[in-house]
Chain A
Amino acid sequence: AQSVAQPEDQVNVAEGNPLTVKCTYSVSGNPYLFWYVQYPNRGLQFLLKYITGDNLVKGSYGFEAEFNKSQTSFHLKKPSALVSDSALYFCAVRDMVRGTDKLIFGTGTRLQVFP
């Protein structure tokens, strides 16, 4: 079964410092991986995706993610955090096995950026 794990419930970082939000995956077949962000009382906003190709994926708001096949990881990164980046971040894998098409989400990581 397809799954993702986000080992950290919360990540704290000072504004201006680099940030990393971790995600590992377990899939059968090729992984289709996504990052979404959720601001309070809002829906999910798409940040970036890995389908194939370059292991470093660039997305919205200056975020990027590195796909690492040997470590089965897809960590989200940003070189310089902003207070406005504080939100809930979800990693997801797309499950297209046996005719379905759905996202399997991690439990989420709350990012807190301090001024």
Chain B
Amino acid sequence: NAGVMQNPRHLVRRRGQEARLRCSPMKGHSHVYWYRQLPEEGLKFMVYLQKENIIDESGMPKERFSAEFPKEGPSILRIQQVVRGDSAAYFCASSPPTGRDTEAFFGQGTRLTVV
């Protein structure tokens, strides 16, 4: 059972370009979460999705950021018109259908650098 797969591992974008980050959850996991880690900081929650539904996007910036988890295919975190402050590591996590005693498994992350 492969773990949570994120790609690309590293992404360089010029200011104003779009960044697309992909996340394939573990097999059997229907819940996906995105977190952002700024340099030398902890992880901050961005969004929680289930298949075709955004459950909680309270951590997403109001503009330029969007996320989806379609019925088929990976979850996508999309950042439009990137700025230098978007440079960070973006981690995806997945978990099985919610239960109190389950834990989330994290991918290796995508390190976005905006130049």
Query: Chain A: residues with CB nearer than 8 A to chain B?
Result: 32, 34, 36, 41-46, 49, 51, 90, 96, 99-108
Q: Which residues of B contact A42 (CB under 8 A)?
A: 108-109
- Contacting A at CB under 8 A, from B62-115, are 91, 93, 95, 98, 100-101, 103-109, 111
Q: Which residues of B contact A51 (CB under 8 A)?
A: 100-101
* A100 near B55: Cβ-Cβ < 8 Å: yes
Closest to A106 in B: B42
With A101-B31, A105-B43 given, is the CB distance from A36 to B56 under 8 Å? no
Picked from B35, B58, B98, B108, the residue with its CB within 8 Å of the CB of A101 is: B98
* B106 near A44: Cβ-Cβ < 8 Å: yes
Give min CB distance, B47 to chain A, whole Å.
Answer: 9
* A107 near B42: Cβ-Cβ < 8 Å: yes
Query: Chain B: residues with CB nearer than 8 A to chain A?
Result: 4, 6, 31, 33, 35, 41-45, 48, 55-56, 58-59, 91, 93, 95, 98, 100-101, 103-109, 111
Q: Which residues of B contact A43 (CB under 8 A)?
A: 4, 6, 91, 106-109
A-B pairs, 9 with minimum CB distance: A100-B56, A43-B106, A44-B106, A43-B108, A105-B42, A102-B45, A107-B42, A105-B43, A51-B101
A41–B104 Cα distance when bound, in Å, is 19
* A101 near B48: Cβ-Cβ < 8 Å: yes
* B98 near A44: Cβ-Cβ < 8 Å: no
With A44-B91, A107-B42 given, is the CB distance from A101 to B107 under 8 Å? no
* B42 near A90: Cβ-Cβ < 8 Å: yes
Closest to B101 in A: A51
With A34-B103, A46-B103, A51-B101 given, is the CB distance from A102 to B48 under 8 Å? yes
* B108 near A102: Cβ-Cβ < 8 Å: no
A65–B95 Cα distance when bound, in Å, is 22
Closest to A51 in B: B101
Closest to A36 in B: B106
